[in-house]
Amino acid sequence: MPEESRTLDIEGLELAIAKQDAKAFLSASEELHYADLASVFENLDDDERAFFTSNISLDLFPKILAELPDTLIEETLERFDTEAQQNILSQLLDDDRADILQDVGSQARQRYLAMLKPDEQETTRSLMRYDEDTAGGRMTTNAAKIKIGTSVKGALDILREYIDSAESLARIYVVDEEGRLKGKIRLRELAFSDRETPVEQIMQEIDISILATADQEDAAQIFAKYDMTLLPVVDEYDRLLGIITHDDVLEILEEESTEDIEKMSGIAGEQSEETYLNTSIYTHFKRRFPWLLVLALLAISSGYVMLRFEHVLSSIFLLALYLPMVVAAGGNTGGQAAAMVIRAMSLGELESGSTWKVFLKELALGALLGIVLGICIALITTFILPAFAPKIPSNISLANFALAVAVALAAQITTSTLSGALLPIGARAIKLDPAVVAAPAITTLVDISGMVIYFTAARTILSL
């Protein structure tokens, strides 16, 4: 659907809701994707949501429910009677149902589980055993599978049962009597093979799968690295439990990138599924305030450093001109190094034994950056600064002053680059998210170190 047409349909739906026109609402809702309907629902007030849930098709609403933020799940389900709730929960895909039930309160969860059929209960409980951020928490159990020893004809007959329930028929998995994964077949290979051929003769070996307990980010990396269509999820005995699909991976990548961006920006707490405008001010406040307080307290240390070196600054106040530049250069280079290392870690490019290689690489790079930038600033100080007639004590030459600034800048950039690269690796070693130590934390730390380096270099070289 063209974007302009979609926008008009959304406006038509919103107008129908505003006018409480049930017929126009149903007509407009049938033209829109369920993700658009979920976005509209999220932005409605309480009365408008009541109208929405009273008039929406129960065949369509399960898909809408799966797209809603976790904070709206329970209150939205409670707008329906018990029969409608049972209908909605039964129509949900098993992985969506498990995610939704993990988002509601414990009492509601037990009540909703009791509404499900025994087989639905068993599947849902098995998925809820895994954390939401694991491969098992992301997978769907609706994988097309056939047993080894089955003929092509028998396999096609079995697949007819999967037409409505299977998440995808792009890959059909072959398992043994114990459910252990043995191979995979493409549907086209079944379609064009002799009907009496055993499936094991045309199946391909499974070379890539993932444990249900693995982190969801590992699943996304495997998916991207090996250009996969579906990723089979197995237990420790290699029994097929389910599959992860491309739409699951897109959601994982969105969540992980959002989480990293928020942590690198000093935003704490659990990631909100609500849109920015629908997230309450209090929620924004409690996620931002803790880091801001910590960073504010750390920043006081910068002031303490200036107090300790007050005599150096008062001896040659021109040092104040270069102080922001030296400090900022450290924050910038440290942030760059942290971003590159965190990216490499998230893509699986850095193993646990890569620390020494990272150290040597960033040491060389930091030193090169520092020396070149130091020389540039020294040249500017020597040849351009005199045009502004700066006041310098008679016992200090401009060349020595330029040397002090250049040495401090080179040292600051080198140490900051190393800090930015090694802190994320250290965080991972102690089981912390590397993004936590990025941007704000690194910037604050190198601000302090930068002042110490700058004033120490000035005091030593200029004999202050």
pLDDT tens-digit series, residues 445-463: 888 899 999 999 999 999 8
pTM for the model stands at 0.66
Band of the pLDDT at 272, cuts 50, 70, 90? low
Q: Give phi and psi for 393, each to the nearest 5.
A: -55, 145
Amino acid at 376: C
pLDDT in tens, 71-86: 899 999 999 999 999 9
Token couple for 383: 């040849």
pLDDT surpasses 90 at 116: yes
How far is it, in rounded angstroms, from Cα 87 to Cα 114? 13
Asked which of 117-131, 241-255, 278-292 is least confident by mean pLDDT, the reply is 278-292
Mean pLDDT of 412-430: 89
Same domain, 305 and 160: no
Using CA atoms, how far residue 158 sits from 202, 234, 244, 456, in Å, is: 17, 22, 21, 77
Cα separation, 74 vs 103, in Å, equals 8
Burial 231-248 (b: 16+ CB within 10 A, else e): bbbbeeebebbbbbbeeb
Do 145 and 240 reside in the same domain of the chain?
yes
The reported pLDDT for the residue numbered 1 is 53
Radius of gyration of the chain (CA): 30
Evaluated on CA atoms 282, 285, 289, 290, the torsion sign reads positive
What's the pLDDT score for residue 246? Answer: 87
User: How many residues are recorded in the chain?
Assistant: 464
Q: How far apart are CA 22 and CA 258, in angstroms?
A: 37
DSSP designation for 208: -
Last residue of a domain, one of 103, 137, 171: 137
Here the tokens at position 210 are 């993932």
Residue 287 and residue 364 share a domain: yes
Residues 385 and 322 in one domain: yes
8 A C-beta contact, residue 392 and residue 398: yes
CB 90 within 8 A of CB 65: no
Q: Is residue 224 located within the same domain as residue 167?
A: yes
Domain termination residue (choose one: 85, 103, 137): 137
74 and 220 both lie in a single domain: no
Tell me the pLDDT band of 274, cut-offs 50, 70 and 90: low
- CA 174, CA 267: separation in Å to the nearest integer? 45
Do 128 and 163 fall within a single domain? no
Q: Residue 260: pLDDT above 90?
A: no
Considering the domain architecture, whether residues 153 and 223 belong to the same structural domain is answered as yes
Residue 271 has pLDDT above 70, yes or no: no
**Residue 103 shares a structural domain with residue 170:** no
The answer to the question of residue 95 being in a domain is yes
For 340-397, the pLDDT digits (tens) are 888 888 777 887 778 899 999 999 999 999 999 999 999 999 999 888 878 888 888 8
Rounded CA-CA distance 405/399 in Å is: 10
Query: CB atoms < 10 A from the CB of 340, how many?
Result: 18
Residue 262 pLDDT greater than 90, yes or no: no
pLDDT of residue 94: 87
Position 353 scores a pLDDT of 78
CA dihedral 36, 37, 41, 42 (to 10 degrees): -30
Residue 274 tokens, joined: 């609500």
Question: Which CATH number is 403's domain given?
Answer: 1.10.357.20
Closest CA to 44 of 18, 11, 74, 69: 18
- Residue 119's contacts (CB-CB under 8 Å, 6 or more residues apart) are none
What is the domain range of residue 294?
281-461
Question: Tens digit of pLDDT for each residue in 160-180?
Answer: 877 776 777 888 999 999 999
Confidence of residue 438 (pLDDT cuts 50, 70, 90): low
Rounded to the nearest integer, the mean pLDDT of the chain is: 87
CATH of the domain at 239: 3.10.580.10
Whether the per-residue pLDDT at 207 is higher than 90: the answer is: no
Give the number of other Cβ atoms within 10 Å of residue 75's Cβ.
13
Average pLDDT over residues 221-226: 88
Q: Are residues 406 and 452 in the same domain?
A: yes
- Domain boundary at 244, 270, 297, which? 244
Task: Let me know if residue 442 belongs to a domain.
Answer: yes
List beta partners, residue 173: 145, 184
Are 17 and 47 within 8 A, CB to CB?
A: no
Share of the chain above pLDDT 70, in %: 94
Reading the block at residue 57, the tokens are 């098709």
Residue partners of 355: CB distance under 8 A and separation at least 6: 422, 425
Q: Are residues 120 and 178 in the same domain?
A: no
Tally the domains of the chain: 3
Q: Which pLDDT score, from 0 to 100, does residue 460 have?
A: 93
C-alpha angle 290-294-295 in degrees, rounded to nearest 5: 115
Residue 52 placed within a domain: yes
Residue 112 has pLDDT above 90, yes or no: yes
Query: CATH number, domain at 70?
Result: 1.25.60.10
For range 292-314, the mean pLDDT: 85
Q: Output 278 or 86, whichever has higher pLDDT.
A: 86
What average pLDDT does the segment 18-41 reach?
92
Residue 268 lies in a domain: no
Give, rounded to a whole angstrom, the gap between the first and last alpha carbons of the chain. Answer: 72
Distance separating alpha carbons of residues 290 and 180, to the nearest angstrom? 48
* Domain assignment present for 249: no
Q: Are residues 76 and 35 in the same domain?
A: yes
Residue 267 lies in a domain: no
Residue 421 pLDDT greater than 70, yes or no? yes
Q: What is the DSSP letter of 437?
A: G
Share of the chain above pLDDT 90, in %: 48
| Sequence letter at residue 201 | Q
CA atoms within 13 Å, Cβ hemisphere of 405: 27
Q: Is residue 258 one of the residues assigned to a domain? A: no
CB contact at 8 A, 223 and 250: no
Residue whose tokens read 């942030």: 335
Q: Is 412 domain-assigned?
A: yes
pLDDT at 389: 79
> Six-digit token pair at 122?
């068993």
Residue 273: the pLDDT is 62
Which residue, 58, 57, 59, 40, is CA-closest to 49?
40
